[in-house]
Amino acid sequence: MTYRFYLSALRQSSGKTSVSIGLAAALRARCLRVQPFKKGPDYIDAAWLALAARRPCYHLDPYLTGFPETIRQFATQSEEADVAFVEGNKGLHDGMALDGSDSNAALAVALDLPVVLVVDVKGMTRGVAPWLLGVLEFAPKVRCAGLILNRVAGSRHEAKVRAAIDHYVGLPVFGSLPQLGPSAAIEERYLGLTPACEDEVAESRIEALRAWLEAGVDLDALLAATQAARHSPVASQTAEAQSSQEEDEELTRCAPPFVRVQRRCRLAVRFRLAYPYDKAFHFYYDEDLHRFAELGVELVPFDTTTDRRLPKCDALWLGGGFPERAAEVLSENRALRTEIFAACRDGLPTYAECGGLIYLAERLRVSDAVYPMCGLFPAEISLHARPVGRGYVALSPLPDHPWQQAQQLINQPPLLAHEFHYTSLTWLESVPPRFAWSVVRGHGIDGGHDGLVVHRTLASYAHLRNLPQWRWTDAFLSASVDAAMAAALA
């Protein structure tokens, strides 16, 4: 048997992610192969789901990749799973487009998935019925398999809510959940949930969420309502995309857990890509790590908070994260900061996203404290209480872009990415910086530009995704290999 569904909610902050994590852990405890997906660009929720399912959590983002590619991704990555589910973002009908074409509802319909709705009923009884009726009638093509009630005050409250749903709505209720206790609740902060790699009791918290879910939800009923055919219409669309199944799969040494890759060595020489994965830097897409490994790159993780030396490498990738929360530790690790500065100064191909940009600056200001960073470029980064750049961005490459494949896209339609940062950058020298990107939509560094270019380093607030029209991983690798060959011939 295979089971496929879309987990959504009526609105944001309904407890959907807690339910998703508990579900992944509970279904895995039944010895089912659980493949989670997350709609949108969220790194943090995906990392929690990956830890709970013991499999990578893949991102589905039709705004960035388009629906055909999103459908292909879901079918390909869920092919071998017993259970595959998508955790939506925000509410069922939320999205950027007024017509809802990029909403959770639209994606559920495109993937032909029944929806399991998490309904926060705190302070509600009979009033839940018209709310549900309005949400469901708003998009009649959505197939709702049933409901999970959350924040139920007690048996009396549950009985009143169930009676209203039975009488007016007629949807099955798979279970009801009480308010989460402190052992299971994941703390929220300015970029969302506390990342799993920063939570010292992440595993026990997942177990508490599993127990909470199992005690309140009839998993047998949920599975029965979401049973799917092994070869679904969606899967049949990807027959050409199913590459050789005979190649060996293995778990990589990548620090992000449970990244599965197929080894297809396409490089004629050994190429090592170093990247930090620790409490300060952990925003990486499993799909991007997969792509690098697929191309034959050896991925070498390291820890900026404990390692004193930069691993031997041919290129460096500094992902996003929370360097502002580890600023003191990062600044105290002067040996590593000095090595990274020297390597970038001497021409090591480097790509840095958001947190990586902060780390390469001269200094970081958090409240009244100032912390020295790597000092590759003369800039001060300041942390603010409100977002400076938030949402999807559109970027056009500029002539100073260090990747040749990006330069070929000058005067072409802009590339889509996303940003989410609470920091701003102040340039400290009179000589203006060189930029890689013109920002068509979004904020970037100064509202019109993004991507500082220093030596062979590109440091940007934007987070890139591999898109059907342009794979940034391939572009960075190509530029890095060219640089390595040039250095060898020098």
Catalytic residues: 354
- Tell me phi and psi for residue 337, to 5 degrees: -60, -40
Instruction: Give the pair of three-digit tokens for residue 91.
Output: 């509410």
Q: Count other Cβ atoms within 10 Å, centred on residue 159.
A: 13
CB-based burial, 412-446: b 16+ in 10 Å, e otherwise? eebbbbbbbbbbbbebeeeeebbbbbbbeebbbbe
Neighbouring residues of 93: CB distance < 8 A, sequence distance ≥ 6: 100, 103, 104, 105, 135, 138, 139
Phi (first) and psi of residue 277, to 5 degrees? -135, 105
Supply φ then ψ for residue 130, to 5 degrees.
-65, -30
Count of Cβ atoms closer than 10 Å to residue 251 Cβ: 11
Mapped to the 3 state alphabet, what secondary structure does the chain carry?
CEEEEEEEECCCCCCHHHHHHHHHHHHHHCCCCEEEEEECCCCHHHHHHHHHHCCCCEEECHHHHCHHHHHHHHHHHHCCCCEEEEECCCCCCCCCCCCCCCCHHHHHHHCCCCEEEEEECCCCCCCHHHHHHHHHHHCCCCCEEEEEEECCCCHHHHHHHHHHHHHHHCCCEEEECCCCCCCCCCCEECCEECCHHHCCCHHHHHHHHHHHHHHHECHHHHHHHCEECCCCHHHHCCHHHCCCCCCCEEECCCCCCCCEEECCCCCCCCCEEEEECCCCEEECCHHHHHHHHHCCCEEEEECCCCCCCCCCCCEEEECEECHHHHHHHHHHCHHHHHHHHHHHHCCCCEEEECHHHHHHEEEEEECCEEEECCCCEEEEEEECCCCCEEEEEEEEECCCCCCHHHHCCCCCCCEEEEEEECEEEEECCCCCCCEEEEEEECCCCCCCEEEEEECCEEEECCECCCECCECHHHHHHHHHHHHHHHHHHC
Q: Which two tokens stand for residue 104?
A: 């959770």
